Chain A
Amino acid sequence: MWATTFLLAVREIRRHLLRSFLTILGIVIGVWAVVTMVTLGNGATAAVKEQISSLGANVLQVRPGQGFGRGGGGPQPPDFKIEDIDAIRTQIVGVTAVAPLVQSSGTAVYNAANWSTTINGTNREYFVAQPWTFTGGRIFSEAEEQAGKAVCIIGNTVRSRLFRDEDPVGKRFRIKNISCEIIGTLASKGQGGFGNDQDDIVLMPFKAVQRRMTGNRDVRTIMVSVDANYDSQAIQSSLRDLLRQRRHLSAGAEDDFNIFDTRQISETLQGTTQILTSLLGAVAAVSLLVGGIGIMNIMLVSVTERTREIGIRLAIGAVAREVLLQFLVEAVTLACLGGLLGLLLALISTLALAPVLKVPFIFDAQINLIAFVFSALIGVVFGYFPARRAASLNPIEALRHE
């Protein structure tokens, strides 16, 4: 009997292609919206996670001032001193690496090529805190770091702009009018979380940058890598106490520096994108529900329109259950078709949109399955009422229906 009713339902759908298509349009759009939103949302979450992890896992970034900027009016809070780095390393437990970041910018020149870039002065521990991969060469030696020797490690953008296919390791180039030996090249990290090019960078020993470029002993940023076995919150608070003491802040004064916890930011941002994903998914789910009501509408109209046909079927000898089943199977088949079509459209549109929105495409089997099952369920729920109405028709009156 199932095969029979399925056959009748498919015949009926084929016979009214346009009507069938319009019936399922709501479901198609609903499934499409839900799956697209959730898939892109998952991609965005993954992208955020990826970008944050490129800042280094369990890294605290300490900067002078409040927030991201150096603050508005009033005296500028002072930069850190190199002694602060040593103090953190020796006085705080659970720290695996402490690296200064002394920034400058200038033009790098090699033969005829030149390229304006960012110069970061740092120490050997920086490579513990930051997840860089080397494509060639090495990090600075301790001697080079102590002496502030002009040795450079260059990012992928700088390498490709100045050296093209040449291997730069061992070559010398000029940066901010200093001749510098290239000792290492870095693998590409791509775009950062704030749209910046993370590969447009030259790394040098901090003393070299301080002495030959910035001309002072200030350190703008301190990066502190935290041992995963220690409580990051506790380390943050002892780090804060230490810096307050070293910067001579009185008990009531506000901090004149801020600690930026990449993991905390990562969790917050991921939480935010996940909430947004759920929210968009929920909105899309409402459209799926509306699609279901659309099916019920058309099926009810269809029962009225096909009253005579139902009369014929009943007269020929269809029992009530068969008519009910036919209409129900019709509704469910339509809904499933709508679901499949929606999934297909979602697949196409997410594949097309992911590169545009710069998020990775992550196929989520679960949401696809849920959306499909949900659309089938909508067929059952919203198909049942019209189907029962069809099955309960009196054959004599149905045959007389004009």
Chain B
Amino acid sequence: MPGDVASGETLISLRGVRKIFGEGPTAFAALKGVDIDIAKGDFVAVMGPSGSGKSTTMNILGCLDVPTDGEYLFRGYHVERLDRDQRALLRRRYLGFVFQGFNLLARTSALENVELPLVYRGEEKAARREAAMAALDKVGLADWWDHTPAELSGGQQQRVAIARAIVTHPDVLLADEPTGNLDTERSIEIMELLTDLNRNSDITVLMVTHESDMAAYARTIIHFRDGLVERTETGKKA
């Protein structure tokens, strides 16, 4: 049954998930039967070479895409049975996204960027402001609330993006190569921020990366190869 999940219990489970792109002779199987269980409160890094299926898996986990075959249970919801709008509502309620390219709205202040998910939730203006400021404070950018992305460094932009992802207090934060565009120092800052959110704000973090230094922050590391889970290990720093 859909409902709240206590920390440590299974939040996400993929069962025999296959994803095939295209049809006929040009059809390409990106995922060939993936089984993954992720407990609430986990910090998971997904690794693997390009074409291994890690991005496809993240898209499915992020409810942006549906499997061709198999089951995806999230909080007890059969995500594979939901339509486009239902999945959008699921994202709105439970998920937060961080992208490699930050993907902030240009010419829009940090505060307005962070507010955006709350706008779609229909929150009142005062409540929006308060929650957005709290989220900016959490990522250490409260003083920068009125700056547009162009006026912020890459590391700062990614922090704003993280603030936007956590402003709704999501269950899961999905991060797609969050440090891909940053230098090592900024990357470490971002990883420390994600670790902090995972530990102290009870947010399950799913992260795609190809840098093992960054994957080392995770508690669980899942290696993909040719559309299958190759192996699972425990992170070194965790």
Contacts and interface: CB of A to CB of B under 8 A. Distances in A.
A316 B85 contact: no
Contacts of B116: 312-313, 316
B122 interface: yes
B119 A8 contact: yes
Contacts of A311: 103
A312 B65 CA distance: 15
Given A308-B103, A309-B105, A399-B103, A315 B91 contact: yes
B107 A15 contact: yes
Given A11-B112, A396-B64, A1 B122 contact: yes
Nearest to B91: A317
A313 B113 CA distance: 11
Contact of B84 (A309, A315, A320, A399): A320
A315 B64 contact: yes
A311 B117 CA distance: 13
Interface string A346-364: 0000000000000000000
A70 to B, nearest CB: 76
B178 interface: no
Interface string A298-327: 000000000011011111111111100000
A395 interface: yes
A316 B92 contact: yes
Interface in A1-49: 1, 4, 7-8, 11, 15-16
* A1, A15, A311, A316 — most chain B CB neighbours (10 Å): A316
A319 B107 CA distance: 23
* B88, B107, B122 — most chain A CB neighbours (10 Å): B88
Nearest to B121: A317
Given A7-B119, A396-B65, A317 B92 contact: yes
A203 to B, nearest CB: 75
Contacts of B121: 317
Contacts of A322: 120
* A308, A321, A395 — most chain B CB neighbours (10 Å): A395
Interface residues on A, range: 20 to 34
B97 interface: yes
Interface in B80-118: 84-85, 88-89, 91-93, 95, 97, 99, 103, 105-108, 112, 116-117
Given A315-B91, A315-B97, A316-B92, A395 B64 contact: yes
Contacts of B103: 308, 311-312, 399
Interface in B45-95: 59, 62, 64-65, 84-85, 88-89, 91-93, 95
A317 B117 contact: yes
A41 B93 CA distance: 59
Contacts of A318: 88, 92, 120
Contacts of A316: 91-92, 97, 116-117, 120, 164
A388 to B, nearest CB: 14
A315 B58 CA distance: 13
Contacts of A320: 84-85, 88
Contacts of B108: 11, 15
A311 B122 CA distance: 19
A399 B88 CA distance: 15
Contacts of A395: 64
A309 B101 CA distance: 12
B164 to A, nearest CB: 8
Given A4-B122, A396-B64, A314 B88 contact: yes
A318 B64 CA distance: 12
Contacts of B92: 316-318
A338 B116 CA distance: 27
Contacts of B120: 4, 313, 316-318, 322
A317 B65 CA distance: 13
* A4, A15, A308, A318 — most chain B CB neighbours (10 Å): A318
A8 B99 CA distance: 22
A319 B122 contact: no
A313 B97 CA distance: 11
Contacts of B119: 4, 7-8
Interface string B188-203: 0000000000000000
Nearest to B88: A319
* A7, A311, A320, A399 — most chain B CB neighbours (10 Å): A399
A321 B59 CA distance: 21
A4 B121 CA distance: 9
A316 B93 CA distance: 9
A7 B108 CA distance: 14
* A1, A4, A320 — most chain B CB neighbours (10 Å): A4
Nearest to A321: B85
Interface in A129-177: none
Nearest to B65: A396
A318 B116 CA distance: 10
Contacts of A314: 88
Given A4-B120, A396-B65, A312 B105 contact: yes
Given A4-B119, A315-B62, 14 more contacts: A313-B116, A313-B120, A315-B97, A316-B97, A316-B117, A317-B89, A317-B93, A317-B117, A317-B120, A318-B88, A320-B84, A321-B85, A395-B64, A396-B65
6 contacts: A15-B107, A312-B103, A317-B88, A319-B89, A320-B88, A322-B120
Interface of B: 59, 62, 64-65, 84-85, 88-89, 91-93, 95, 97, 99, 103, 105-108, 112, 116-117, 119-122, 164
